Amino acid sequence: MAKVLAALRNHWKKSTFGACLLGWGGHWLYGKHCDNLLRRAACQEAQAFGNQLIPATVPLKKATVFLNPAACKGKAGNLFEKNAAPILHLSGLDVTVVKTDYEGQAKKLLELMENTDLIIIAGGDGTVQEVITGLLRRADEAAFSKIPIGFIPLGKTCTLSHTLYPESTNQVQHITNATLAILKGETVPLDVLQIKGEKEQPVFAVSGLRWGSYRDAEVKVSKYWYLGPLKTKAAHFFSTFKEWPQKHQAALMYLGPTERPPEEPEEKPSRPPLYVRLYRRLRSYWSSPKEFPQEVAPEDWEELKLSTIELSIATRNRQLDLTRTEDFMDICIEAESVSKGEFVHRG
């Protein structure tokens, strides 16, 4: 024992490095063990759904998964197969996985897809935007929109994941909780932003719209990957070499918050019996004449001409409040008098 202590003291640098490496390895193995326990518990819960008996005349529910393998730097396919696919297959659903090969393919596939009982989006914010756009562009959008949509967060940027699953702490828990929520039929109403152009078809988004210098600089961040943690600052710094200040002229027309319309009943009420209809007809005939309703004033839209460095329009999905009775959006107009130093620092 004395020789071991003497060796550790004489080689303290190697001993310190070995202790740190051993501690990191133990922490990594413990994390993997916890992830396996989460997967096992989720599979056991999903198996309870698959063991439920259904009548022979009732067909299996069909679920169509739109998987973007390129999400999360190409790791989305492995994440789905390891964490979400076993849960879906154990639940007794008839699962069809559609892998997208290029950007915009999910949008086209949704416009041509036939009937399904459930749509599942497996990817990031871009995949969500494509599927929602393809769904709402369909000719039978009113009927097809009633199909529930599930979201399994696999992308590098998943704005809705922390809103829908705030109790999740890591990526594996995010994926398993999202998949189990789909099986349980937990639904949350979300706002959808429609973006119309002069010629192209409308585009739909659930998070928001950004237009300006900050957004243009963030698109070029991956170009400076070799700078490591400084790549974001570098993208904003080099973008200031263009014409400065980078002003964007726009005209904005907006309307204040409006009350949310009442939800339409899913099924039309059955037609009342003949004697009830006759009674209502006679009562309306002998009753006093109704007063004509007053004309409703037209909506008072306000127009604002602006010059800004960045314009962003965001829905309220990030701060979800199911009790609110009004529909509104957040509009942020950045000041055009931003110095180069402030632009790089804030970026």
pLDDT tens-digit readout, 172-201: 888 898 899 999 888 888 888 887 766 677
Residue from 193, 164, 168 nearest 320 by CA: 164
Annotated domain spans of the chain: 31-204, 209-260+300-346
Residue from 158, 110, 186, 177 nearest 317 by CA: 158
Band the pLDDT of 111: cuts 50, 70, 90.
confident
Band the pLDDT of 87: cuts 50, 70, 90.
very high
Residue 297 has pLDDT above 60, yes or no: no
Tokens of 186: 């937990």
**What gap in Å lies between CA 190 and CA 142, rounded to an integer?**
16
| Average pLDDT over every residue of 99-125 | 85
**What gap in Å lies between CA 130 and CA 272, rounded to an integer?**
44
Band the pLDDT of 298: cuts 50, 70, 90.
low
Predicted TM-score of the model (pTM): 0.74
Assign domain 31-204 one CATH number from 3.40.1180.10, 3.20.20.70, 3.40.50.10330, 3.40.640.10: 3.40.50.10330
Q: What is the DSSP letter of 300?
A: -
**What gap in Å lies between CA 306 and CA 165, rounded to an integer?**
37
Residue 284 has pLDDT above 80, yes or no: no
Per the listing, tokens 């659930």 go with 206
**What gap in Å lies between CA 79 and CA 174, rounded to an integer?**
11
Q: Is 185 left (phi over 0), alpha (psi -120 to 50) or beta?
A: left
SS3 138: coil
Q: Is 206 in contact with 132 (CB distance < 8 Å)?
A: yes
pLDDT at residue 230 in the model: 86
| Average pLDDT over every residue of 49-72 | 85
